[in-house]
Structure 1
């Protein structure tokens, strides 16, 4: 409460100037109240100081009380007053904002600023009044001008009304008196004077209004300058107040700090102890929480892995069930087809026998008319014919495995005498030759040698049975055959009945080779045994007119076959088992036992190490080829009519050579090209190490038909001991050996003998739209339609061209470890890095070459003997760019690989 008689300077108590507004007073009060409140200030005079501060705030915050206080405000106390009170023995009272905390210069400065502010505020008020007067004068002039303009408009309307068209017409027709005309002129003159006076008044007032506007602008600028000065002065006053407040606050903080230091020192030790205990408690809780989260995360990961394994098992189980159902459905349909074919064959045989009996009866009647000596020989043949025609028909379907019976025997169907062995049916124990066995099992029928049948009748019945169903057209398509040079398998001539179904490639390639050529695999001639850097093969440089213009190649284990633009087949490399399809005998290898070799270069056979064409007379005249394929010791060529020629041999599990079976004989090796019988309408070939696959037009796989069920194949690929096929629904199917998971199945991938018995869908490649497949000995690579290159197989061999991170190595669904816990196999496809968009890929026995969409070649640096075109001995698991002057600035389009060598190719620029 303020005292009745005011003796204190409330402005000094609050530390504000006399011109301070209510907001500044309120802010100062709040700031000082936080310092002087008895609950926060240990000073014994704090209560009295706070009461004075509260009285000052109540007085200055109320406009009425502040006005009365300004009238009775005491003058500031002099410096002698504190001294007098001190001399009298009174204790000096701490009063924030009074003369005890301010110097005389600060007080004078504050007073000067307050007076200057009052002067500026008065000046601003006068300027506002002048602006108001100027605006009032402007509005007055605007009203007068508007009034004059309205009068002018009114006079104009009156003049228009008086001088209408009727008055003018009347004056012309009837005439008007002179007095009236004179009056009209006077009125017009008066009106014109008024108009001129108004115009002059409007111009004068407009000039006055323009001057008023100029004065108003000047006043506004002056008022703005005054307001700016007031604002600057207020800022100075506020800055001074803030500085003084900072000094007062610093003093208060210092004294409060001195008062509370003892309690702070006493409490510091206790707080430190409490903080240490709380910190230890938090650390224990954090450690427990971390361990709990880790255990929970591990349990969740284990549950997720278990769920994934369960889902994988469920998928495999469903896949197996579906495959089993499909297999059973296929078997059922095959049985139905066999039964239907058996019925048709029985009907056909009955018709044929009926016709034969009729023919025999006609011959018997004709023989009766001949002499007795000519009838005697015919009766024996008639007896055999009638006996075979009257034999009862067996109900056996002749399925299953027919056992070989060694020794001489007679075929029960064609009556042919078999010298070596006969085949015995497991159902009815009938003995027959191999051709008749195939006939009875639903294959092509062989005409009996012991029965004299009319060939035209047989062809007619084979082509069109009695029920109208077409069974076989082998007789109608049979062409004349001629024996080969060595008396082997008969080869047909070019038949006009076979139409062109395949188109050969037309783009000529320039072939680049690198790797080991110790056996002539690179085709560089007898003096070049290898090159660690990429090197253009001069014999296969399509840009040179004298070189072979190759359009397609395929690399085998230690040899290569190539197809030229003019349908010639060129081979080079090892010819130990006839893999080159031509004679490579060379007398240069024959030397005296005691003679020393001339050099390492002379050890190569130029007939093998130099690309050489297979003689044209090895094939029928007019034969045109579209593709070549190479295995370990064999090669094949596909014609434009869908026929297949082959040479070389396959090796079985015991290392014995086996090539084909023809004319009841096993052919072990073919050193020259021979027609592969039974293969027709073929569109693509693929060779593994010791097996081959042929894809026909219907989407089936030959020669022994691989069961693709209802999903027809459109592309095939073969690895060392496994194969792939892409069906027409873009599903990838694999079969045969699945060691290291190379066939795409993670189950039992670590076993060496796990096999896929029939084409099984690869689950991780479903929906990937695979366009290119390539397989090595133990790994596989695919290229998808979007250019992604996927690899899988063994990790430690460097074939994949990828380096797995720690997260992938810890995933048991992606990585298979050995007994020692070392990662060994990549179970699922992973994208190869550093390649970009892939365009082509080629796999060798243990290495891989990648071609990017930009035409660059890449390979992992695990290639020994320079087979990757990288001369460095350092290993690198990730695929790197293959450098070389032969490919610098050129776009590659193809790559291939063999055992210890590699090849890449680019489009050749043909020489004119």
Structure 2
């Protein structure tokens, strides 16, 4: 499960300090916010300066070349102008060539950049020179044999000035010809557009995939567009769609809107610091829920997706912009006692609908899931969609290879025929029909179960779903589970495999337990669970909980915050590690808690829940923000019944928790029989 806050997520290996109760809404600066990677733009001024410099140098070389050419023409005793004109007409199809424009054009510029006024003045001067040269030529021819040396050179230069201007005018149209030809070199684009048009549900997914990227990277998402958009039509359903409506009860801090109670008082009660379970009046017709670190996602009976809570990393999948300000929601010295507005963002704290029009027509949602900063939905035909982002020790990793933060639902590529999703703080596990387990997200604590990739690829290499092992017909997975930074799967022989962070033995393995950097690279068999047929397995930040087909409740991992809920007399040197004060610090192996027949288990960061076969819910662990529902901020040492008027006569069927809040749900018409 996700950590208590975004800051905790960046340092999973460090021993967390106990949180202290803080009144009032946390300042916005304490919540993580997405940063923008705007690509710098270029004005191209440097290129213009270089072109101008090259053009000037080339002009001097041409002038020298023309002088040499004139001398050569005189030595050959030919008519120089006739020879030059014929040469250019043969080589250029009757068109004079301006050699000085060629280097400038190759550098991305043109000599035509001179102002028209300057060009016109040059033409007038050229005409005057031509007229003068005609008179000079007649005078020189009368003087005898030496006249060609004097008359030909200035005449040629003056004609070149005129030829240069004429060449500029004649070259204006040819230089513009290549520009419209460039797009013709990419005929594939319209073909892809036609292929997309054939699909019944045009999806806007590829657009966010290239937003904020350079033109060089835009082609990649475009090539992957058909895959990103998923099936063209609804497939054969195989996942069961929930239909039983639930009443949702919430408790915990709520100052970031994670309780979904809105921003104002309701029935005289503030939507924050809810000490015991309270019915959420904003949630009607809910059939499935999931809790992230500081946000929630729910599915309704009419196939709507609702989200609420923190939206800093777009985990809500919708726009929650609010122009209002914030204030201390518990300010006892406030003069405005009649004001029932807490100052919480109403768009975040009130459940709102997510646009899921990307799904093919007729598709139904079978499951919802949430990590610390992302949300996911699983369809009845096995496709997975998500939004938000993943975080690592250094901040945001990204949602996919090309997308830093996905603001709206997008198909997760590389997945199909998925039957179940579970989330850790910043990673996801998906189980498919064949029994393969796919993982993706942050892998900094080896929670993806893959061999570490090259550092050159960076943490984003884990954002594409990949199998975490070799699965066959003889050995495949039938269930999956996740803690904040560790993972599990149960195989077809009912054996549990674990990997990821193991500094508090949260995997159930003793390997390197007690070391800050203790991690399990690949899935390993948890031998201490071989005698148990596990039906559900979940994890918090440093502890884990499981229940079996026989209703046994097992816990293991970190002890000093009472996360495992074991009585103090069960610890000894054979099953625990003690601190310097001889207090138990780590429970090394899964251990049964007697007295409760479990049917469902759930965990928050350092809090745990179990529902028994009679629909009663128990909690234990860290409770600084009332997240145990016991009405106190003191740690709850052992599993304790949550009992208040709101849920006393209700049959609880589901529980979930984040960092500072928790949720339980009961069937809409289900009641616990009298006497239980």
- TM superposition score normalised by structure 2: 0.59
- The corresponding residue for 1:659 is 399
Paired positions, count: 422
Say whether the 8 Å CA contact 2:234–2:360 is kept in structure 1.
Answer: no
| SS of equivalent residue, structure 1 residue 539 | coil
Match among 256, 261, 269 for residue 519 of structure 1 = 256
| SS of equivalent residue, structure 1 residue 787 | coil
Alpha-carbon distance between aligned partners in 1 of 2:323 and 2:494, rounded to the nearest angstrom: 53
CA gap 1:787/1:879 in 2 versus in 1, 3 angstroms? same
- The corresponding residue for 2:364 is 624
Shift in Å at residue 871 of structure 1? 1.6
Say whether the 8 Å CA contact 1:619–1:673 is kept in structure 2.
Answer: no
CA displacement 1:849-874 (0-9 Å, x = unmatched)? 11111111111264122111112455
- 5+ residue gaps, structure 1: 1-448, 456-474, 541-546
| Higher deviation after alignment, 597-606 or 788-797 | 597-606
- The corresponding residue for 1:860 is 620
CA gap 1:480/1:857 in 2 versus in 1, 3 angstroms? closer
CA displacement 1:456-489 (0-9 Å, x = unmatched)? xxxxxxxxxxxxxxxxxxx9x9999654484536
| SS of equivalent residue, structure 1 residue 607 | helix
Alpha-carbon distance between aligned partners in 2 of 1:597 and 1:681, rounded to the nearest angstrom: 58
Match among 651, 654, 657 for residue 891 of structure 1 = 651
Say whether the 8 Å CA contact 1:494–1:622 is kept in structure 2.
Answer: no
Alpha-carbon distance between aligned partners in 1 of 2:311 and 2:403, rounded to the nearest angstrom: 18
| SS of equivalent residue, structure 1 residue 672 | strand
| SS of equivalent residue, structure 2 residue 347 | helix
- The corresponding residue for 1:841 is 601
CA displacement 1:763-786 (0-9 Å, x = unmatched)? 111131101111100000000101
Shift in Å at residue 749 of structure 1? 1.1
Any residues of structure 2 matched to 1:721-870 within 5 Å, and which?
721-805=485-569, 808-809=570-571, 811-819=572-580, 821-834=582-595, 836-860=596-620, 862-870=622-630
| SS of equivalent residue, structure 1 residue 866 | coil
- Please state if 1:572 is matched with 2:308: yes
Say whether the 8 Å CA contact 1:522–1:530 is kept in structure 2.
Answer: no
CA gap 1:752/1:587 in 2 versus in 1, 3 angstroms? same
- Please state if 1:503 is matched with 2:243: no
Alpha-carbon distance between aligned partners in 1 of 2:494 and 2:406, rounded to the nearest angstrom: 37
Shift in Å at residue 751 of structure 1? 1.0
Any residues of structure 2 matched to 1:580-729 within 5 Å, and which?
580-589=316-325, 601-661=341-401, 666-702=402-438, 703-710=465-472, 711-729=475-493
| SS of equivalent residue, structure 2 residue 307 | strand
Shift in Å at residue 530 of structure 1? 2.8
In terms of fraction of residues, the more helix-rich structure is: 1
- The corresponding residue for 1:904 is 664
Match among 278, 298, 304 for residue 535 of structure 1 = 278
CA displacement 1:262-301 (0-9 Å, x = unmatched)? xxxxxxxxxxxxxxxxxxxxxxxxxxxxxxxxxxxxxxxx
CA displacement 1:186-212 (0-9 Å, x = unmatched)? xxxxxxxxxxxxxxxxxxxxxxxxxxx
- TM superposition score normalised by structure 1: 0.44
Alpha-carbon distance between aligned partners in 1 of 2:352 and 2:407, rounded to the nearest angstrom: 15
Alpha-carbon distance between aligned partners in 2 of 1:813 and 1:635, rounded to the nearest angstrom: 41
Shift in Å at residue 718 of structure 1? 1.2
| SS of equivalent residue, structure 2 residue 637 | coil
Alpha-carbon distance between aligned partners in 1 of 2:642 and 2:581, rounded to the nearest angstrom: 35
- 5+ residue gaps, structure 2: 1-184, 210-220, 265-270, 328-333, 439-464, 671-676
CA displacement 1:534-564 (0-9 Å, x = unmatched)? 1111122xxxxxx2x1111110000011111
Higher relative contact order, chain-length normalized (CA < 8 Å, sep 6+): 2
Say whether the 8 Å CA contact 1:652–1:658 is kept in structure 2.
Answer: no
Alpha-carbon distance between aligned partners in 2 of 1:622 and 1:822, rounded to the nearest angstrom: 57
- The corresponding residue for 1:259 is none
CA displacement 1:198-246 (0-9 Å, x = unmatched)? xxxxxxxxxxxxxxxxxxxxxxxxxxxxxxxxxxxxxxxxxxxxxxxxx
Alpha-carbon distance between aligned partners in 1 of 2:477 and 2:299, rounded to the nearest angstrom: 25
